[in-house]
Amino acid sequence: MRYSLRRAGMLTAGVVLLAGLLAGSVGISGSQASTSAAAPTWATYDLKAKTAHLTLISSYGSDTYNYNGGKAGHFTFTVPLGAKVVVTYSNQSSMMPHGAEVVPWTGVLPIALVPPPPAFAGAFSPNYRHGTRLGITQTFTFVANKAGKYLLICPVHNHVKFGHWGWFVVSKTATTASGVLS
């Protein structure tokens, strides 16, 4: 009986500790425990240089057809009009290659075998039509010189059909860059 009460007491203490951690009320080494991991910063903006730095990851999390965890339009980058855009792109899928391209939004998803041309000169990852394999990080740069709503697509064979696309917005009123998962 003594053993089971002691064990039950340890279990209760563990549950209380866990609840406290989740509530953020138990100090650990003099600091508050965090209730959630900090959200990744997908976009930064250097106002002086008028440069947006974007981090773009294919297959972020458990689904292979997404950008930064957002699938089928549930991720949006917004940059100010005229910004130089520097994209650091990588693919976390061990199953297949992926790529990235910013294309005009025409009101329908581009599901043809050959994707449309980029909306801006240089607005695509290297070898974007055939994709990047796991573990490779690439950088591409372009100027967002025309305001509007664009698509960010994976131009690799049929990936748009599977939801591998998001939004890219060039805003006349934005004063910073953002990357938002919705």
Task: Return the pLDDT at 113.
Answer: 82
Contact between residue 139 and residue 122 where contact means Cβ atoms under 8 Å apart? no
Q: What is the pLDDT of residues 48-64, one digit of tens each?
A: 999 999 999 999 998 89
The model carries a pTM of 0.79
Q: Is 57 helix (H, G, I), strand (E, B) or coil?
A: strand
**Where do the domains of the chain lie, and which CATH numbers do they carry?**
2-32 (no CATH), 43-181 (2.60.40.420)
Q: Which residues contact 172 (CB under 8 A, 6 or more apart)?
A: 81, 147
Min mean pLDDT across 3-7, 125-129, 134-138 is at 3-7
Residue 116 has pLDDT above 70, yes or no: yes
Rounded CA separation 176/84 (Å): 12
Residue 142 has pLDDT above 70, yes or no: yes
Mean local confidence (pLDDT), 92-106: 96
Q: What does pLDDT average to over the chain? A: 84
Residue 138 has pLDDT above 90, yes or no: yes
Mean local confidence (pLDDT), 167-180: 98
For the chain, the first-to-last Cα distance in angstroms comes to: 52
Q: What is the pLDDT of residues 8-25, one digit of tens each?
A: 443 334 333 333 333 333
Task: Return the pLDDT at 18.
Answer: 34
Task: Return the pLDDT at 26.
Answer: 32
Q: What is the pLDDT of residues 41-50, one digit of tens each?
A: 999 999 999 9
Residue 136 has pLDDT above 80, yes or no: yes
Task: Return the pLDDT at 30.
Answer: 34
Read out DSSP for 32-50? Answer: EPPSSPPPP--EEEETTTT
